[in-house]
Structures are given as C-alpha cells and as structure tokens.
Amino acid sequence: MQDALAMTYLWLKAGHIIFVIFWMAGLFMLPRLFVYHQEAPEGSEEAAKFAEREQKLLKIILLPSIIVVWVLGLALAFTLEAWNQGWLHAKLLLVLILSGYHGYMSAYAKKLARGERPLSGKQLRLLNEVPGIAVALIVVLVIVKPF
C-alpha cells in the first residue's frame, strides 16, 4: 500500500512540474508577443496575426496548464498534508499572484486585439520579468523549505 501511495505522489509531482513548465513558457512568451504586436501598425494584417497567436497561446497552452497546475498542486498538498507548513503558504501566495498575472495578461490580450495599447514596450518587457522572479522564489520555497 505504501508503494502505491509513493508512486501516486511521484506521478502527481511529475505532472505538476511538467505543467508548471508549460505554464511558465507561455507566461514568458505572451508579453514578448505583446511587444511585437504593439510594434505592428495598428489595424494591420500583422497586428491581426499577433492577436490570433496570443489567443491561441492563451487557449491552447496557458488555460489548460494553469488548470492542471492548480489541480495537481492541490492534490500534492493534500497528499503531503502540508497545510500547516509556512513554505506552502508562501508558495500558494506566489502562485495566486502568478494566476492574477495570468489573468491580467489575458485581459491585456483582449485590449490589444481591440486596438488599445495602454502599456509601452518597455513596461511590457518589465512585466515579462514577473514570472521569472516568482518561479525562482517558488523553487527556493519548495526545495529549501526555509520555514
């Protein structure tokens, strides 16, 4: 019985890591697409292609990935019974922030598709750093478990 539980845990963990990689790849790529989109002439065929690419990235990669990351992550937390551990609380906070970032980027894609460009290329390049910083902190929390 113990072996079955251990194998289940390892499969959950592997799946979680795989989908975190997919999610992060999409979150790194989306703001870069936004920069190129904003540099394209407004209303051009090029801008329309970028809007289409952004929507595909959001619907085909990012949405399924965030769902699987949350489902498997919560399953892991239940398996570990880690709810009273400080590192998990901090990780969950960072994942909530990343999920909010994901939502903000999704809303920004809709604005760009409508021709609105509220952020500059420089601001988008800075926003592109958010997932990298968050994932670095999350990895440290999960591996080191500082509290």
Taking phi over 0 as left and psi of -120 to 50 as alpha, with beta for the rest, 119 belongs to: beta
The answer to whether the beta carbons of residues 102 and 69 sit under 8 Å apart is no
Per-residue pLDDT tens digits for 112-124? 999 999 999 999 9
- b/e 100-111 (16+ beta carbons within 10 angstroms → b): ebbeebbebbee
Per-residue pLDDT tens digits for 17-75? 999 999 999 999 999 999 999 999 999 999 999 999 999 999 999 999 999 999 999 99
The separation between CA 139 and the C-alpha centre of its own chain, rounded to angstroms, equals 14
User: Is position 145 annotated in a ligand binding site?
Assistant: no
- Sign of the alpha-carbon torsion through 92, 28, 35, 49: negative
Average pLDDT over residues 76-102: 95
Instruction: Specify the pTM.
Output: 0.93
User: Is position 91 annotated in a ligand binding site?
Assistant: yes
Share of the chain above pLDDT 90, in %: 90
